[in-house]
């Protein structure tokens, strides 16, 4: 049995529990992976530890009725997140607390603790890898465990591992794409006549937007993702403050209409390039011609093109935000660790 401690029980944590509950049997039959959540710790949703594994359907039903995981009838309650990591006996810690691109906390402390205790870590939290990927990967290597972050960029749509693992043997000289779902959703809705504030509220309700949506609309979320891709795929050592940044708060319906009259769409484009061995990165709105495939990536869809020496351009398009989509990225990392 592979034992998982789930740290964070917001949109992604709950979706991960639901997807795992639906896939548990399939994972066992197809991959031989017998995965069980043995502990959950959420900032405002309580904590629960059941060493023999939590019955997920039961947990989710009782959570829906009561709003806390502590309504589950058995198990140890009331531990904090660090105690949960230490005492759960888990092999894998799935860290899905909220992103903080300034301090990386509380995720950074959770991940350091788990890796130093010899536990594999999977995270969708962009703060720790954007601020300290090399340190955390080093800590994982020292302790003989894995640190996997597929769902930090484009949720479950392959992005990090596509560049790092699948394209191995190619040199990635740069990348360009739409890697924030919330801003792409807002820009698409604005083109259809939707108001900025109402659309942002909708994106929050759908679970796409960050807890503080400034993280999306001012470009910080895309900056975090650019840093993660540049550092993991291109071997760079960028910090979020190294990335030139402009969000979409200055984009008006008039600008969108003007672009449309010239057969263009405004998109928040994230990119990085290498020149003379130096990697530079940028996030900013750009007018993209309708003949460019990126112009037709709308709503919460994301797209990413890697520019490589061998295969030239390799593009992936898919869903890049949302609880279920992110949960699938976590599941793919879980299977990769198990393999």
Q: Quick one: which of 70, 91, 216, 218 contacts ligand HSE (CB under 6 A)?
A: 216
Tokens at 130, concatenated = 């954007």
Query: Do the beta carbons of residue 166 and residue 158 sit within 8 Å?
Result: yes
Tokens at 330, concatenated = 């976590």
What's CA 30's distance to the chain center, in Å?
A: 25
| Residue placing its CB nearer to ligand HSE in the complex, 46 or 181 | 181
In terms of DSSP bridges, do strands 172-178 and 244-245 run parallel, antiparallel, or are they unpaired? unpaired
Residue 299 to residue 117: CA distance in whole angstroms: 41
Q: Which stretch binds ligand HSE (CB under 6 A): 11-19, 203-211, 244-252, 311-319?
A: 203-211
Distance of closest approach, residue 68 Cβ to ligand HSE, in angstroms: 25
Q: Quick one: which of 320, 329, 333, 334 contacts ligand HSE (CB under 6 A)?
A: 320
H or E element, residue 237 = none
Q: Quick one: which of 209, 217, 264, 307 contacts ligand HSE (CB under 6 A)?
A: 209
Annotated catalytic residue: which of 45, 225, 267, 282?
Answer: 225
Q: How far is CA 3 from CA 72, 85, 117, 143, 168, in A?
A: 18, 11, 14, 18, 31
**180 contributes a contact to ligand HSE by CB under 6 A:** yes
| Residue placing its CB nearer to ligand HSE in the complex, 177 or 181 | 181
Query: Do the beta carbons of residue 111 and residue 103 sit within 8 Å?
Result: no
Catalytic annotation present for 201: no
**321 contributes a contact to ligand HSE by CB under 6 A:** yes
| Residue placing its CB nearer to ligand HSE in the complex, 91 or 221 | 221
**Considering only residues 115-174, where is the footprint of ligand HSE by CB under 6 A?**
155
| Residue placing its CB nearer to ligand HSE in the complex, 186 or 256 | 186
Distance of closest approach, residue 206 Cβ to ligand HSE, in angstroms: 10
Q: Which stretch binds ligand HSE (CB under 6 A): 10-18, 29-37, 73-81, 207-215?
A: 207-215
Q: What is the dihedral of CA 213, 218, 219, 223, to 10 degrees?
A: -90
Residue 85 to residue 181: CA distance in whole angstroms: 31
């Amino acid at each position: 049995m592979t034992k998982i401690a789930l740290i964070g029980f917001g949109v992604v944590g709950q979706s991960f529990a639901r997807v795992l509950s639906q896939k548990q049997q399939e994972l066992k039959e197809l991959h031989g992976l017998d995965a069980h959540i043995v502990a959950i710790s959420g900032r405002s949703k309580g904590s629960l530890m059941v060493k023999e594994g939590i019955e997920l359907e039961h947990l989710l039903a009782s959570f829906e009725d009561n709003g806390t995981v502590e309504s589950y009838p058995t198990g140890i309650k009331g531990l904090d997140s660090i105690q949960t990591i230490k005492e759960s006996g888990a092999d894998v810690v799935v860290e899905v607390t909220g992103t903080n691109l300034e301090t990386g906390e509380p995720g950074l402390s959770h991940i350091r603790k788990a890796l130093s205790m010899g536990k594999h870590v999977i995270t969708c939290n962009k703060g720790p890898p954007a601020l300290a990927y090399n340190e955390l990967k080093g800590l994982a290597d020292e302790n003989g465990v894995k640190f996997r972050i597929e769902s930090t960029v484009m949720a479950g749509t392959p992005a990090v591992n596509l560049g790092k693992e699948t394209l191995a043997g190619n040199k990635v000289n740069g990348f360009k794409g739409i890697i924030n779902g919330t801003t792409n959703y807002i820009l698409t809705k604005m083109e259809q006549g939707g108001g900025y504030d109402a659309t942002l509220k909708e994106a929050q309700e759908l679970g796409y937007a960050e807890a503080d949506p400034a993280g999306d609309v001012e470009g910080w979320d895309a900056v975090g993702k650019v840093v993660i891709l540049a550092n993991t795929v291109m071997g760079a050592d960028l910090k979020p403050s190294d990335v030139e940044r402009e969000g979409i708060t200055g984009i008006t319906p008039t600008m969108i209409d003007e672009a449309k009259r010239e057969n263009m769409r405004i998109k928040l484009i994230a990119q990085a390039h290498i020149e003379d061995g130096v990697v530079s990165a940028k996030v900013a709105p750009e007018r993209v011609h309708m003949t460019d495939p990126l112009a037709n990536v709308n709503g919460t869809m994301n797209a990413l093109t890697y520019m490589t020496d061998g295969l030239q351009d390799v593009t992936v398009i898919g869903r890049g935000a949302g609880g279920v989509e992110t949960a699938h990225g976590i599941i793919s990392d879980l299977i990769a660790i198990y393999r």
